[in-house]
Amino acid sequence: MVSGTVLVTGGTGYIGSFTALALLEAGYKVVIIDNLYNSSKEVINRIELICGKKPEYVECDITDEKALDAVFQTYSDIDSVIHFAALKAVGESGEIPLEYYRVNVYGTLCLLKAMSKHNVTNIVFSSSATVYGDATRFPNMIPIPEECPLGPTNPYGNTKFTVETMIIDHINAERTKAKKEGKDDKVFNGALLRYFNPAGSHPSGIMGEDPQGVPYNLLPLLAQVAVGKREKLLVFGDDYKSKDGTAIRDYIHILDLSRGHLVALNYLREKQPGVRAWNLGTGVGSTVFEMIKAFSTAVGRDLPYEVVGRRAGDVLNLTANADRANSELGWKTEHTLEEACADLWRWTENNPQGYRQEPPKAFVDA
C-alpha cells in the first residue's frame, strides 16, 4: 500500500477524475483542484460512490498564483502533482491560441513555481500523442516510439510541446541547484505521459466523459448519434492509405490510461529517474469504420454515418509503440476496445444528462 498526498489539477475532468479514483483506490490521499471550465463537481460524489473515499476538492484556477499558493499551504502534505488542467480542443486552439498559451503554458508555469516554493518535487504531466504531429513522415516509426522526432502541427500541440520542454528545463535546474547546495537532487522528477486516444467509461456506468460544449472526439460524437442527439456521424475522409480508407488511431480504455498515471507516479517516487517520457497506448490501431462497427455492436444496432472530406490537420496513423511503458513501468493495457465501447454505452444510456443529473438509482440502492 502506498502513502502520500497527490494534487490532481483538472481532477474533475475526464482523465483526471479516473486518475483520482485510481489514486484513492491505491491508498493515496487526493486533493483535486479545478475551475470547472469543462467539468462538474458532481464527479466528486461519483468517485466516492465507487470507492468509498472522497477526494478533497478546491475550486481553483491554475493561472491564479495566490489561489495555488493557498492550496499548497492548506494541504502542506502534498508531495506530488498530476497535472491535467488544460484547454484541449485542437480546432479552437487555432482560433484563440493566446488563450491556449495562457492556460496551458502560463498555468503550468504558475504550478511549477508554486511547487518549487512548497518543496513539491514530483510532477506527472498530461502530454499527448499530438506532440509527434504527422509521424507518418517517418515511415519506419509507426507504431510511434518516444524517440520519434517531435513536430506538433497546431497551437494546442505546440503548448504541450512547450510544457514538456519547460518541465525538462525546470527539473534539470532544480537538480543542479540542489546538488550545488549539497542537498538530495534526485527528489526532482517528472513524467511526460503522451496519451493516444482515451476511450470508454467506468464499468459501473456512473462515471464517464461529460464534455460541457460540443464534443470534438469520435467516440463522444458517436455516443450522441446513438442517443439521437445527432442525426449521423460525419466520417472525415475514406481516402487514406488504410485497409478501409479511414484514418487509424490507438484507442485506449480510460481505466488503463488512469492506471498508467498511478504506475508512472510510483516509478518517479521509487526510481527517481529525472524527467522521462512514456507513451500510453495499446499499440494497436483501429480505423474510423472499425470504431463505428465496434460501438454499433455495443449499442446493438447500426449507427448512421456519412463520409465527408478530410478534417484539416488530421493524419493517417497515430498508433503508439508502448514498449517503454511496458518494460520500464511494468504497465500494459488490460481492457479491450469492446469493453471501452460497452462501458461508454452504459454510461451514455444511464446518464443522458451526464453529471447534470442524480446518479442512476439502481447504483445508489445497490
Taking the CA atoms of residue 134, residue 208, residue 190 and residue 28 in that order, the dihedral angle to the nearest 10 degrees is -170
Looking at residue 175, its amino acid is: R
Residues 53-92 that bind ligand WQD (CB under 6 A): 88, 90
Our finding on whether 314 is near ligand WQD (CB under 6 A) is: yes
CA dihedral 242, 244, 248, 253 (to 10 degrees): -150
Of ligand NAD, ligand WQD, none, which one does residue 236 interact with (CB within 5 to 8 Å by kind)? ligand WQD
Q: What is the size of the binding site for ligand NAD (CB under 6 A)? A: 27
Q: How far is the CB of 183 from ligand NAD (least distance, A)?
A: 31
User: Looking at the chain, how many residues does it have?
Assistant: 366
| Beta carbon nearer to ligand WQD, 166 or 221 | 221
Rg over CA atoms, the chain = 20
CB-nearer residue toward ligand WQD: 121 or 296:
296
Query: Do residues 271 and 321 touch, judged by C-beta distance below 8 A?
Result: no
DSSP per-residue letters across 77-140? TEEEEEE------HHHHHHSHHHHIIIIIIHHHHHHHHHHHTT--EEEEEEEGGGG-SGGGSGG
CB count in 10 Å sphere of residue 277: 19
Beta-bridged to residue 193, according to DSSP, are 126, 278
Residue 9 phi/psi, 5-degree rounding, is: -80, 145
Binding mask 100-139 for ligand NAD (x = CB under 6 A): ---x---x------------------x-x-----------
Taking CB under 6 A as the criterion, the residue among 226, 288, 320, 344 binding ligand WQD is 288
Cα distance between residue 280 and residue 78, in whole Å: 25
Coil/strand/helix, residue 295? helix
Identity of the residue, 27 or 309, whose beta carbon is nearer to ligand WQD in the bound complex: 309
Within residues 115-144, the interface with ligand WQD by CB under 6 A covers: 128, 130
Structure-block grid coordinates of residue 288 = 474510423
| Residue among 14, 156, 251, 267 flagged as catalytic | 156
SS3 317: strand
Asked if 347 is part of the footprint of ligand NAD (rule: CB under 6 A), the reply reads no
Active site residue 156: yes
Say whether residue 217 binds ligand WQD (CB under 6 A).
yes
Nearer to ligand WQD by Cβ, of 22 and 199: the residue is: 199
Establish if 257 lies at the interface with ligand NAD (CB under 6 A): no
SS3 at position 347: helix
Nearer to ligand NAD, 185 or 208 (CB): 208
Nearest to ligand WQD of 233, 342 (CB atom): 233
> What part of residues 19-48 is at the interface with ligand NAD (CB under 6 A)?
34-39
Q: Is 57 in the site for ligand NAD (CB under 6 A)?
A: no
| Positions marked catalytic | 156
Interaction site with ligand NAD (CB under 6 A): 10, 12-16, 34-39, 61-63, 84-86, 88, 103, 107, 126, 128, 195, 197-198, 217
Interaction site with ligand WQD (CB under 6 A): 88, 90, 128, 130, 197, 216-218, 221, 233-236, 247, 249, 288, 311, 314, 318
